[in-house]
Amino acid sequence: MVIIDDNASFRSAASAALEGPDFAVVGEAASAAEALAEIDALRPDIVLIDIRLGEDNGFELSRRLARLNGDAGPTLILISTQSKEAFADLVAASPAHGFLAKAELSQESLAELIRSL
């Protein structure tokens, strides 16, 4: 798994919450450019993508990853501090497999929510 978020604290907390028998966090990125390099080098099965990446956009990054990798690409999961309702139409139109609101995540629930997607 690769975690893409411009917030280093969130990346660290998510990595700690996910490390275990079910998931291995193999990389992190703070921007779309870093994400593309990490994903190309590491070929993860799952990518968590923050919708707001500073100057970058998680929706555009997910579309770009889908174009580059097609059906053989990783499972893309969008994340945000906003609620799902705030982005429902954009999430539905994206190539992402799902969406998780950061406010609903806890260390215990993150792995379970990802498995459910």
pTM of the model: 0.88
Position 107 scores a pLDDT of 54
* Structure-derived torsion over alpha carbons of residues 8, 90, 70, 26, reported in degrees to the nearest 10: 20
Query: Structural domain tally of the chain?
Result: 1
CATH of the domain at 8: 3.40.50.2300
Instruction: For strands 56-57 and 52-53, give the pairing.
Output: antiparallel
The pLDDT mean for the chain works out to 88
Write out the residue range of the structural domain in which residue 80 sits: 2-105
- CA–CA separation, 107 vs 4, rounded Å? 17
| Per-residue pLDDT tens over the stretch 8-48 | 999 998 898 888 788 899 999 999 999 999 999 999 999 99
- Domain membership flag for residue 110: no
